[in-house]
Amino acid sequence: MSAAVLYMSISLDGFIAGPNERLDNGLGDGGSRLHEWALPGANADGKDIVRPAGVNGQVFDEMMSTGAVLAGRGTFEPAGGWGGDHHDGVPIFILTRRDPNDLRQWPRVTYVSDITTAMTQAKEAAGDKNVLVHGAGIAQVALAARALDEMELHVIPVLFGQGRRLFEGLAAEQLEMERTRILQGEGGVTHMHYRIKR
């Protein structure tokens, strides 16, 4: 059974991007600090990405073995739509309430306007594999709609002080989780996996 899993790099104080986010500054000021663990071989342009080693590599591989990607337009557009292929050519589902006609139409990308339909389609497309849920906006929407099954937080040993938070604007309702795995990655990164109880 396919599970919808959020993979998210986050500072210890809960930020997933630095301040002053813009289309041309998608991670905010200093936000790339959160992704160093996953891109150890990237140069300044983000080219020549090399798979990380060790525990970080294990988690990276899991993320990249998902069978579909679900993201919001706010993640998709600054990333240039990943050129229409996030990894291994798996189907990509983009949640957008706006008309997607101005977006480039890649063959593997489907635009969906509501989270329930998007998640259903993504899980069907993923088959036996999991769905990679990608981005803070879609995470908040999926959490609110109770459509998220699991989350893997890559907790980076840094305090940001300011920026964009992963957990913001949710209702005051306690949501219990099951801690399913804690991995101590290289560089002080702690990978924390939780299943959301229903």
Question: Which residues of this protein are in contact with its own copies, per CB under 8 A?
Answer: 12-14, 18-19, 29-30, 33, 143, 153, 155, 157-163, 165-167, 170-179, 182, 184, 188, 190, 192, 194
Q: Which is nearer to its own copies, 6 or 70 (CB)?
A: 6
User: How far apart are CB 191 and its own copies at their closest, in Å?
Assistant: 10
Q: How far apart are CA 136 and CA 142, in angstroms?
A: 10
Q: Which is nearer to its own copies, 124 or 168 (CB)?
A: 168
Task: Assign residue 169 a region (left: φ > 0; alpha: ψ between -120 and 50; beta: otherwise).
Answer: left
Tally the residues of the chain.
198
User: How far apart are CB 189 and its own copies at their closest, in Å?
Assistant: 8
User: How far apart are CB 129 and its own copies at their closest, in Å?
Assistant: 25
Q: Which is nearer to its own copies, 101 or 174 (CB)?
A: 174
The burial of 78, by beta-carbon neighbours within 10 Å (0-12 exposed, 13-18 middle, 19 or more buried), is given as middle
Q: To which residue do tokens 């905010």 refer?
A: 28
Q: Which is nearer to its own copies, 109 or 141 (CB)?
A: 141
Instruction: Give the helix/strand (H/E) hosting 58.
Output: helix 54-63
Q: How far apart are CA 196 and CA 198, in angstroms?
A: 7
Of 145, 152, 153, 85, the C-alpha closest to 115 is: 145
User: How far apart are CB 160 and its own copies at their closest, in Å?
Assistant: 6
User: How far apart are CB 137 and its own copies at their closest, in Å?
Assistant: 16
Q: Which is nearer to its own copies, 111 or 160 (CB)?
A: 160
